[in-house]
Copies of this chain bind each other. A is one copy, B any other.
Amino acid sequence: MMLSPVESALAYARENAARFRAQLVELLRIPSISTLPDHAADVERAAEWLIADLRRIGMTRAEIFRADGYLPLVYAEWLGAGEGAPTVLLYCHYDVQPAEIEAGWVTDPFDPVERDGKLYARGAVDSKSHVIIQLKALEALLAAGGPPVNIKLLFEGEEESGSEHIFQFVRDNRDLLRADACVLSDGSFPDVNQPVLDYGLRGIVAMEITVTGPTRDLHSGHYGGSVHNPIQALSAMLAQMHDADGRVLVPGFYDGVRPITDEERAVMADYERWVMDEWRSFTGAPQPWGEPEYRIHERLGARPTLEFNGIYGGFSGPGVKTVLPSKATVKITCRLVPDQDPDQVVERVRDFVAQITPPTVTSTFTPGSDRASGVIFDRDTPAMRAAAEAYARGWGARPIYAREGGSIPVVEVFQKYLSESIVLMPFGYKGCGAHSANEYVILDMFHKGIDTMIYFHDVFAEAFASAT
């Protein structure tokens, strides 16, 4: 019996499953920690490892892009499907968070250990399994005669340290990178058996407010009662920023917020159960909180926030110090949704802070430089439909649709310069401990991920052809 190219690729993936796992272990052994300068050589080593494998599997171009201060950005392509076929840009990151054994690791974070179908290592789920899934799906398709789509591939090495350079790189290399769909592969399902397709991300802006009362720290006995304490003034200001239900009271903050449609509510309804289960098990908070007219997953994915990330002022050591401090500072980030304008949100908060600063203190407002808008992707593109179908075939379950509360700033430049069509394809599970001790990947999910990506390229080629 003659196998189709997809069947052939799936068979190849099954035959080579042990080697694929061994290669994942190899990559996990390299401590490519991008946040620690001491590990720059390891990040380099991981990039070289990827280049070697990309060349071996038959990518026609594989090179490292560098510039001053860059950690290596791995680019590869295979354009053998021809001009009539669509082009897919695949994005993953191969750098990892730090991992100190003292943080509670049961085994060495860079000496992967398999137990009960799980592989434990730093980067196992975030995001080296995603990198290897993409690589090995391509290897299988190339071994079966080549994928029916052209492939461009971008593996970033500084995602965990702030993605400082990829924005400029994408702008400068838009012709090289342009595609018919961008697949960003990272992230997690709410349940091992329940794939999820995120069709939105929140944006983000950051700012800092410092309130100054006296110009120096004062003795609370000698001056207390006659000087407005900046902690007190700041607390009173912060207390005016939300109502008791969590609505943001900054005038104009909600300008442009796109309402959740009834259709979205119906599409996302399935997600609430998963979100609530996870909320309860993970947060440990006494009870949910926030805008009562929205479900929890709507609050997380479709509503903007004004969050206090940190506060400090005066004495924080053990014991007592009778100081009336000079300053108090709060750090704020706002998560944004379409169609809020990040610059305008910053200005609205700045104006409100100026307005509510009492005359007995002064305040300074420092906006952060990084700004990302919230985004929503069309759920009815060929790539999105192909992703849903690929999960259905590779996982045996149709994905649910959700809007993600986090931000992936790079999505905005991909969408602007490379392709309107964005798909986020996660293959992790929320319980896998990304950024925590004893991070793991579930090996069954790893193999299903490879199958799903093999299906994706095939289904997308068909969907794209019939749509054009």
Contacts and interface: CB of A to CB of B under 8 A. Distances in A.
A261 interface: no
Contacts of A242: 232
A368 interface: yes
Contacts of A244: 358
Contacts of A452: none
A289 B360 contact: yes
B204 A335 contact: no
Interface centre among A224, A232, A234, A242 (most CB of B within 10 A): A224
A405 to B, nearest CB: 5
Q: How many chain copies does the complex carry?
A: 2
B234 A300 contact: no
A221 B405 contact: yes
Nearest to A436: B216
Interface centre among A215, A235, A360, A361 (most CB of B within 10 A): A235
Nearest to A215: B284
Interface in A381-408: 404-407
A146 interface: no
Contacts of A228: 246, 285, 289
Contact of A311 (B282, B328, B331): B328
Given A231-B311, A308-B231, A311-B311, A335 B285 contact: no
Interface string A284-312: 11111111000010011001110111111
A322 B333 contact: yes
A307 B290 contact: no
A36 to B, nearest CB: 15
A279 interface: yes
Given A309-B315, A311-B311, A279 B333 contact: no
A289 B236 CA distance: 15
Nearest to A435: B219
B335 A290 contact: no
A66 to B, nearest CB: 24
A325 interface: yes
A226 B299 contact: yes
A378 to B, nearest CB: 22
A37 interface: no
Contacts of A204: 221, 322
A171 interface: no
Given A220-B333, A311-B311, A359 B213 contact: no
Range, interface on chain A: 35 or more
Contact of A405 (B224, B321, B335): B224
B238 A235 contact: yes
Contact of A227 (B289, B331, B333): B289
A362 B288 CA distance: 13
Contacts of A232: 238, 241-242, 308
Contacts of A84: none
Contacts of A304: 225
Contact of A333 (B202, B241, B320, B335): B320
A324 B284 CA distance: 13
Interface string A141-180: 0000000000000000000000000000000000000000
A359 B287 contact: yes
B220 A305 contact: yes
11 contacts: A202-B221, A215-B283, A221-B335, A221-B407, A227-B290, A231-B238, A235-B236, A244-B358, A286-B360, A310-B314, A320-B370
Q: Please list the 8 inter-chain residue pairs (A to B) with the smallest Cβ-Cβ separation, ordered nearest first.
A: A215-B284, A221-B406, A310-B314, A239-B239, A310-B315, A235-B238, A231-B308, A228-B289
Given A286-B361, A311-B312, 15 more contacts: A215-B284, A216-B283, A221-B335, A222-B406, A224-B300, A225-B299, A226-B300, A228-B246, A229-B308, A239-B240, A309-B315, A311-B313, A314-B331, A316-B331, A322-B407
